Amino acid sequence: MMRTRPLKVALLGCGVVGSEVTRIMTTHADDLAQRVGAPVELAGIAVRRPDRVREGVPAELITTDATALVKRGDIDVVIEVIGGIEPARNLITTAFEHGASVVSANKALLAQDGAALHAAAEQHGADLYYEAAVAGAIPLVRPLRESLAGDKVNRVLGIVNGTTNFILDKMDSSGAGYSEALDEATALGYAEADPTADVEGFDAAAKAAILAGIAFHTRVRLDDVYREGMTEVTAADFASAKQMGCTIKLLAICERAADGQSVTARVHPAMIPLSHPLASVREAYNAVFIEAEAAGQLMFYGPGAGGSPTASAVLGDLVAVCRNKLAEATGPGESAYTRLPVSPMGDVVTRYHISLDVADKPGVLAQVATVFAEHGVSIDTVRQTGKDGEASLVVVTHRAADAALSATVDKLRGLETVRGVASIMRVEGE
């Protein structure tokens, strides 16, 4: 039997995502009620600019006092889609203190203070759900946290930022340079006026921290994630990748060490074979590849951003949290029992593609090979082209530690016959 008294929801933020959440809650109110087991009522919407025109948003629900809204004793669930660290953090903890559960899309806050927020939720017997914080509409947090709870996840490898994937895809398919591809992404609305958070990897790093924490049942903060942007990727890098049967993607990579005693989390551009499922992810789409001990290889694919996809994830969490409210229960909280340390990037072992500008003379290849051998970095393949006294030397290594590769490159820069290091890129997805 359906409960007649509605569950009341406060919405913090009414931009692209918040407006879509409002639309879905209004137009699908009857369906939501049937799925939850009680009416779900939007009780207030906190915004910074109340005079802004918001089509389809009831004006009587608008308020600028977000704190007063979350302190109302009758609010059951708070949806936070304002982003940033403050005032979002204070509003979420205040919501917990006043008996409300929280649904959030705030990746930056969760990556920085997820442990404290989970602790606050547990202290007050509330839920903290955040499917929308990682990959838009793609169900990822819940499968990791619930469906794979009985399995051992060893690796999470994914494209978790649509803007960067669009740019790299255009560079690959059209031969465009980085600036041209960025301009196209901006014109189509895929890139912000200031794209730094996307192209420098900050957005993907926050998502990597969240995914690693859930996958490996340990605490991983944003500061633990190695981050490298993709602004230095060139058309020449794509040409080299194609010669290897690869393409280039900005990847979030979370791994459990072979001995199981530590984890790593990193974001950087990488070459991946065209045969890998992630290589075919085009335009602004996201995809995440999970390797688990019993389940094997799983791939999750779909739109990773935008108002409608993100709102879909928010509403999915809202339904789950409302059901928990009716059952007087809470869903899964933080699982960090393994307490695994996060290893530094220097310990990460992977393959590398190094392009060197060298003098076109006898003995250069032998000198370069000697430096690699001195640092214990094994060479897989070498390709050399040149004329008129100048040459390009491309070296692809077997798997080596990042620290060893860095020492190798530093030594190479000191060779008289090496004019410069044109590019260094990791090779993943073997």
Residues with a catalytic annotation lie at 207
CA distance 251 to 161: 9
What is the CA angle 241-296-287, rounded to 5?
Answer: 45
Amino acid occupying residue 408: T
Q: Is 17 helix (H, G, I), strand (E, B) or coil?
A: helix
First to last CA, the chain: 53
Strand runs labelled E in 163-311: 226-227, 246-256, 263-273, 285-292, 296-303
Strand runs labelled E in 223-295: 226-227, 246-256, 263-273, 285-292
Please check whether residue 77 is in contact with residue 318, taking contact to mean a CB–CB distance below 8 angstroms.
yes
Give the single-character DSSP code of 194: S
Please check whether residue 373 is in contact with residue 407, taking contact to mean a CB–CB distance below 8 angstroms.
no
Amino acid occupying residue 219: R
The CA–CA distances, whole Å, from 71 to 3, 66, 99 equal: 24, 9, 9
CA distance 350 to 399: 5
Please check whether residue 9 is in contact with residue 76, taking contact to mean a CB–CB distance below 8 angstroms.
yes
Contact residues for 2 (Cβ-Cβ < 8 A; gap 6+): 33, 34, 37, 38
**Token duo for residue 429:** 């997805």
Contact residues for 53 (Cβ-Cβ < 8 A; gap 6+): none
Give how far the C-alpha of residue 365 lies from the chain's centroid of Cα atoms, to the nearest Å. 39
What is the CA angle 114-118-124, rounded to 5?
Answer: 150
Q: Is 300 helix (H, G, I), strand (E, B) or coil?
A: strand
Cis status, amide bond into 341, omega within 30 of 0: no
Please check whether residue 13 is in contact with residue 81, taking contact to mean a CB–CB distance below 8 angstroms.
yes
> Using CB atoms within 10 A of its CB, is residue 59 exposed (0-12), middle (13-18) or buried (19+)?
exposed
Amino acid occupying residue 145: R
